[in-house]
């Protein structure tokens, strides 16, 4: 799992230097640098939780990106061993996203949660997209080309924002820190002084060779446009990284119609 690239993106977005974040979580900057570059093992759940708190995002969300088991779940299974067979039964039956959503609705109705972790607003990418902002099977030889196309689709959604200026801004951020989060996905982001949070999604006709944390070529680009910085932007970025770790690029690779993209994305996000 290549959570390090996502950590680096989030850290830069939060305006923290490597040394600042390392000091806050009680590790050396050398260690944190190795984690960000995928040279060291994925941090422990406790350390991921510490990082998430400093970045002001839910620890469980960052653990999902790293495919780490939350201490909450581990402690619960220790206290209630009978829950383990139930989890295994869900896996054995291979419940789909909609089926799991129905199960969750039943749990909410019968056993309302008072856990603060559930108070987070649901994170979804699909509502930020429209068919007009979905570019499928784009042929290009550089990430810059994909950013140009995405900027053209996004500019119309934000009055007063020119496509050329937006593309330049995206490219400058890309030069500062790579937006590749692994699994064939890049998440370039631009900040605006005002305006709605919107997104564009581009699938590539041919994998694009680029610098990525897992050396997998890019197959999917999700461009996020949001108000200047802030927690919501980091939450959305982490959410897309989580979708990437769940195989977003694979699920959308051969899709030819925008509405099918939205349907598949909504199915993935059904439990968010």
- Ramachandran region, residue 198 (left: φ > 0; alpha: ψ -120 to 50; beta: rest): beta
> Could you tell me the CA-to-CA distances from 256 to 17, 200, 260 in Å, in that order?
41, 16, 8
Segments forming the whole domain that contains residue 192: 126-268
Tell me the two tokens of residue 217.
Answer: 């070529």
Domain count along the chain: 1
247 φ/ψ angles, rounded to the nearest 5 degrees: 95, 30
70 domain residue, yes or no: no
Residue length of the chain: 272
Is residue 234, in this structure, part of any structural domain at all?
yes
Q: What predicted TM-score, i.e. pTM, was given to this entire model?
A: 0.80
Report the chain (272 residues): mean pLDDT per 10 consecutive residues.
Answer: 85 91 94 89 87 90 76 67 79 78 80 56 84 96 95 86 90 92 94 82 94 92 83 88 92 93 88 52
| pLDDT at res. 208 | 94
Residue 110 lies in a domain: no
| CATH number of the domain encompassing residue 228 | 3.40.930.10
Query: Residue 10 domain-assigned?
Result: no
Q: Is 244 contained in some domain?
A: yes
Q: Is 158 within a domain?
A: yes
Spatial distance between the Cα atoms of 238 and 264, rounded to a whole number of angstroms? 19
**Which tens digit of pLDDT belongs to each residue from 190-233?**
887 777 789 999 999 999 998 899 899 999 999 998 876 678 88
Torsion of CA 187, 234, 248, 89, to 10 degrees: 160
| C-beta separation of 11 from 222 below 8 A | no
């Amino acid at each position: 799992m290549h959570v390090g690239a996502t950590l680096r993106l989030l850290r830069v977005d939060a305006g923290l230097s490597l040394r600042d974040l390392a000091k806050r979580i009680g590790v050396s900057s050398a260690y944190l640098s190795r984690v960000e570059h995928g040279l060291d093992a994925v941090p422990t759940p406790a350390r991921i939780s510490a990082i998430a708190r400093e970045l002001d995002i839910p620890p469980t969300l960052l653990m999902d990106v790293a495919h780490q088991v939350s201490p909450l779940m581990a402690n619960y299974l220790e206290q209630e061993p009978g829950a383990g067979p139930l989890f295994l039964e869900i896996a054995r039956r291979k419940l789909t996203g909609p089926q799991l959503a129905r199960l969750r609705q039943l749990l909410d109705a019968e056993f309302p949660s008072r856990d603060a972790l559930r108070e987070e607003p649901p994170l979804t990418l699909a509502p930020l997209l429209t068919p007009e902002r979905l570019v499928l099977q784009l042929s290009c030889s550089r990430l810059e080309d994909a950013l140009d196309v995405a900027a053209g689709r996004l500019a119309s959604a934000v009055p007063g924002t020119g496509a050329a200026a937006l593309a330049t801004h995206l490219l400058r951020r890309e030069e500062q820190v790579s937006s590749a989060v692994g699994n064939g996905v890049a998440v370039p982001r631009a900040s605006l002084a005002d305006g709605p949070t919107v997104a564009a999604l581009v699938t590539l006709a041919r994998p694009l060779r680029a610098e990525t944390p897992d050396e997998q070529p890019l197959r999917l680009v999700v461009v996020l446009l949001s108000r200047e910085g802030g927690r919501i932007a980091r939450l959305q970025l982490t959410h897309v990284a989580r979708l990437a770790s769940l195989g977003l690029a694979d699920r959308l690779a051969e899709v030819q119609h925008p509405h099918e993209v939205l349907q598949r994305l909504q199915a993935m996000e059904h439990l968010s």
